[in-house]
Amino acid sequence: MILALTNATLVCPIGGITKGNLLIRDGVVVATGLVEIPADAQTIDCAGKTLAPGIVDLGVAKIDRAAFRAGGIVRVGLMPDQSPVLDDPGIVQRAALIGKPDLWIHPIAAATQALAGHDLAEMAVCLSAGARAVGTGKGWIADSGVMHRVLAYARDLDIAVVTHAEDGGLTAGAVATAGETATRLGLPAAPAIAEALAIARDLMLAEDTGARLHIRQVTTAASFDLIRAAKRRGVAVTCGITPAHLHLSDIAVSDFRSFAHLSPPLRSESDRQAALAAVADGTIDVICSAHDPRGPEEKRLPFADSSAGMAGAETLLPLALMLVRDERVTLSRLFALLSRNPAAVLGLDTGTLEVGKPADLLLFDDQAPWQITGDAFAASANNTPFDGLPVQGKVLRVWKGGREI
C-alpha cells in the first residue's frame, strides 16, 4: 500500500520544519518534501496542519489505549510496577504483545526480583522476551551493592537502566516536598535533597560501570547541576520530566487537592524555574506523561491518604507545546524530547520523519484552542491537576506503521 500525506507542515527532530508531502510504502517513510505522488497512492490532504513523529511515552504506569490514541502516543515504555511485576519472561512477553498492532508496548523489566531491591531479576531472559530496558519502578534500590550489580549487568546487555530518584530513607511516608506549603498544611514531607542524594549515588555507580542510566523524572535544581556535570564528564546519563513539574509548583496542593499528589511531589517555584532552564539548555532529554490514571476510590481521599499519580497521556502534547509558545524550545526540538530521545533510550530506531523509518505519525493543529476537562477524558480515570486549564494543540489523526488508528 502507498499512502501520500500532502500539504503538511513537516516537523522532524533531525530535518527541522519544512512544508510538503510525506510518502509511505508498506508502513515505512520513503520520501518527504516536494515529492511526486504516484498515481496509485491513497492521498490525504493535511490542509497545512502539522505532521510529526508519533509520541513515544517513556514510563507509563498503565496501558490505556483510548487515552494514548487521544494523545497521539503510538509507543509506550511500560513501567515494571504491574500486577504481576514484570520480572518474568512470560509476563514480559505478554505485555509486549497485547497492544499490537495499534499500540506498541515496550516493557521495562524489573531490575530486581519483585522490585524488592535485593536479588537481581533475569534481565537477559526478559530482554529476549521483549523488554527494552530494565528499571527500579517507582522505588529506589537502597543497597548500593545491588545497584552496582544491576548497572554492570545492564552494561553487558547494552540496555538502559531506568531509575526512580528519591532516597527512600528520607522520603518514607512523605507525600509532599518540605517547605512552606507542606508546613502550613501539616503534610508529611521530605526535603528536596532526597532526589539529589539518590542521583549523586547512581551517577557515580553508572560512571564506574560504564552503564547507560536514564533517570525517569528529575525535578530539582541540585539534581540538574549533578546531571550537567556528569554529562560533561562523559557519563552515559539521560533524564526526563513531566509537564506537571514544568508548569506547577507545590503551591498547587495548597487546597489539599489530591489530584496534585504526584510522585515525585511537586517542588518549589525555584526548582520549577530550574526545570524550565534545564529544558532550554538541553539537560533534560525526555518529556513524558507518567500516565497513571487513578479513580475516585484512590483520589477522593484526604491528601495524605490518596494515591500519587495523574492521568497525563491526553494532555502531554498541549502542555508540552506551551514550551514552544514560551520560546523555551523549538518545535523540532520538542519532538526530539517527545519522540526521538525516548525511542533512543529504549533502543528503538524511530521517532523521526527520516526516510526508512517506521511511519508512526501524528497530525495535529497546534493552534486549536480547547480546555482541559477531566470528565471528558478518554482515559480510564480523570485525575489531572490541570482540570479547567485553557490550552492549544489538538491531535487530529494518528498512524502506526502507516495504518491509521
- Reported as a single tens digit per residue, the pLDDT across 225-238 is 999 999 999 999 99
The three cell numbers of residue 320 are 508540552
Number of structural domains the chain divides into: 1
- Per the domain annotation, does 48 fall within a domain? no
pLDDT surpasses 90 at 369: yes
Question: How much of the chain is helix, strand and coil, in % rounded to 5?
Answer: 35, 25, 40
Question: Are residues 245 and 268 in contact, defined by beta-carbon separation less than 8 angstroms?
Answer: no
Cis-peptide, bond into residue 101, ω within 30° of zero: yes
- Per the domain annotation, does 20 fall within a domain? no
- Reported as a single tens digit per residue, the pLDDT across 158-188 is 999 999 999 999 999 999 999 999 999 999 9
DSSP strand pairing (403-404 vs 361-371): unpaired
CA 405: distance to chain centroid? 21
- Per the domain annotation, does 22 fall within a domain? no
Among 98-102, 140-144, 399-403, where is mean pLDDT lowest?
A: 98-102
Please enumerate in sequence order all residues whose Cβ is within 8 A of that of 138, keeping only pairs 6 or more positions apart, or say none: 61, 79, 81, 164, 263
- Per the domain annotation, does 195 fall within a domain? yes
387/384 Cα distance (integer angstroms): 6
Region 124-145 average pLDDT: 97
- Per the domain annotation, does 41 fall within a domain? no
Question: Predicted confidence band at 1 (pLDDT cuts at 50, 70, 90)?
Answer: confident
The three cell numbers of residue 279 are 529544558
pLDDT surpasses 90 at 95: yes
The three cell numbers of residue 381 are 480515570
- Counting residues of the chain whose pLDDT is more than 70, the rounded percentage is 100
Nearest to 95 by CA among 79, 73, 117: 79
Region 284-309 average pLDDT: 96
- Residue 218's domain spans which residues? 54-352+369-391
The neighbouring-strand residues paired with 403 are: 400
Mean pLDDT for the chain? Answer: 97
- Reported as a single tens digit per residue, the pLDDT across 261-284 is 999 999 999 999 999 999 999 999
Residue 117, sorted as left (phi over 0), alpha (psi -120 to 50) or beta, turns out to be left
- Reported as a single tens digit per residue, the pLDDT across 48-74 is 999 999 999 999 999 999 999 999 999
- For position 138, which CATH number holds? 3.20.20.140
